Amino acid sequence: MATNTEPPKLEFTWLNPILSIYTPPPTEAPIHHSHPTTIIFCAWMGVSSRSRYLNSFYQHYHTLYPNARIISVRSQTGFFAFTSTSARLRLHEPIIAAIESDPAPAENRKIIAHVMSNGGALGFADICQLYKEKTGNKLNVGNVVFDSGPGEYTLGSAFHAFSQAFPKGLLWYPTAIFMWLVLVILGRTMFGPGPRLKSSNERLNDLNCVNENQRRLYMYSEVDRSVDWRSVVRHAKEAREKGVKSTLMKSEGSKHVQLMMRDPEKYWNIVWGFSVT
């Protein structure tokens, strides 16, 4: 269901530098049983919380589901290079209490997730792992949208992904040289993005970590230079082989994480149709 009106800017409460939550005002209006009560949005690596494009995702979701809370999960560039796994997990830990604070009765709670690129995939894998460790239960997410990911590590795709956050102008060149050296030297070591991508991809298809009853929608583009579309297809295939219902949706001519920008009406019709079933 596409929308034509621009919703108001949402006010999020920060839980820490990477987690924030939007809580809608109380209402006595009944909530449709198929609508989510909590939306976990795992953003792509390095995007600013002030990004108009990022906030347009939140606004569209709020228009579709005005009574749903939105938990925003940011992905820092350092998560793939310098931040230790333990430090990264500690940053994600407050989301457990945020999820559990859903005011809807337990029997009416419905959680969906929207996962953007490899940054979002790493964050969502961390959240699923933490939830299982802290509660003893798997996170009961009904539907998950994977947009432009998850992907596998290659030097070229990793450099292109990191380059999106490089400064403009003359500073671009020393930053590019530094990052290229980091990727060449550390890319496949325990401190580099290669093993971290591999770990997050494996955890997302580990039925000891994720809810096997979730439904997944993988949205991808064959011209994406940051994530090879074949890796997305492989991940969906592995999920299917483990019994996770997974649907593939190809977008023609869309750049990385720009599937929604290319055709917003089509994008949100697909997401809405998927998320309410």
DSSP string spanning 22-57? Answer: E-PPP--SPPPTTS-SEEEEEEEET--TT-HHHHHH
Torsion of CA 142, 202, 161, 76, to 10 degrees: 70
The answer to whether the predicted template modeling score (pTM) of the entire model surpasses 0.85 is yes
pLDDT at 88: 95
Q: Tell me if 1 is assigned to some domain.
A: no
163 occurs within a structural domain: no
Residue 259's CB: how many other CB atoms inside 10 A? Answer: 25
Give the domain range for residue 214: 13-152+200-275
Q: List alpha helices for 141-258, DSSP H.
A: 155-163, 172-186, 193-204, 229-241
Q: Would 187 be classed as within a structural domain?
A: no
Write down the pLDDT at residue 4: 47
Instruction: Note whether residue 2 is domain-resident.
Output: no
Residue 102, in any domain of the structure = yes
In this predicted structure, what is the pLDDT of residue 107? 85
Which amino acid is located at 225 in the chain? R
Highest mean predicted confidence (pLDDT) among 27-31, 106-110, 262-266? 262-266
217 within domain boundaries: yes
219-246 burial: b if 16+ Cβ within 10 Å, else e: bbbeebebbbbebbeebbeebeeeebeb
Nearest C-alpha neighbor of 182 from the set 200, 194, 165: 194
pLDDT tens sequence across 93-122 = 999 999 999 998 888 899 999 999 999 999
Residue 6 has pLDDT above 60, yes or no: no
Residue 215: inside a domain:
yes
Torsion-angle region of residue 136: left (phi > 0), alpha (psi -120 to 50) or beta?
A: left
Structural domain tally of the chain? 1
Residue 117 lies in a domain: yes
* Domain CATH for 20: 3.40.50.1820
CB-based contacts of 178: which residues, under 8 Å, 6+ apart? none
